[in-house]
Amino acid sequence: MHIITRMVAEHSQRPLSQQVTLEAERTLFLKRRWRGTAADGTEFGFDLETRLRHGGVFFRSEAADYVIHQKPELVFQISLHDKDFSALVGWKVGNLHFPVEIADGYLRTLPDSALAQLFDREGWKYEEATVVFNPLRAVAHSH
């Protein structure tokens, strides 16, 4: 088993045929210590100094780069079509303390009945999508 302490590179420069993936749930990206098995059966132990990022190279051999891939997951997403609407959505969703991602013109968050009720009550159109979800990192605060 190879022990990994940090990413080797942000992205692989090798062709896809020379890349081996290790797929992991988003929650593993938050952990410092965990184990995983790459697509070719190679086992890795992670004792990380910093978090891994989707698409990053965490190990290199003569034959291949080993690349971490975050598994896509189901999210709710709302199109952010103007600044005022974006601010209102951000404020109301933020007050519920759910993790959010702002990307590709959408606010994305984990599916939850409280959010569905909020969106329905406000008349906001939202959709379910399956994507790699990278929420903003939380900052501690108080009300």
pLDDT confidence tier of residue 137, bands split at 50, 70 and 90: confident
The model carries a pTM of: 0.79
Q: What is the mean pLDDT of residues 109-122?
A: 96
What's the confidence (pLDDT) of residue 140? 47
Q: Sort 69 into a burial class: Cβ within 10 Å, 0-12 / 13-18 / 19+.
A: middle
How confident is the prediction for the chain on average, in pLDDT? 93
Scan for tokens 């939202």, then name that residue: 126
Q: 51 and 5 in contact (C-beta within 8 Å)?
A: no
For 34, residues 6+ apart whose C-beta sits below 8 A from its C-beta are 24, 28, 45, 46
Nearest to 88 by CA among 98, 78, 74, 73: 78
Lowest mean pLDDT among 9-18, 29-38, 73-82, 129-138: 129-138
Q: 64 and 16 in contact (C-beta within 8 Å)?
A: no
Q: 69 and 24 in contact (C-beta within 8 Å)?
A: yes
Calpha distance 64→19 (Å, rounded): 5
Q: Please state the domain extents for the chain.
A: 2-70, 73-131
Q: What is the mean pLDDT of residues 27-37?
A: 93
Query: Is the model more confident about 135 or about 65?
Result: 65
Tokens of 13: 């420069």
Domain 73-131: CATH superfamily, name plus number: UreE, C-terminal domain (3.30.70.790)
Q: What is the mean pLDDT of residues 97-116?
A: 94
Q: Does domain 2-70 have CATH number 2.60.260.20?
A: yes
Strand partners, 47: 33
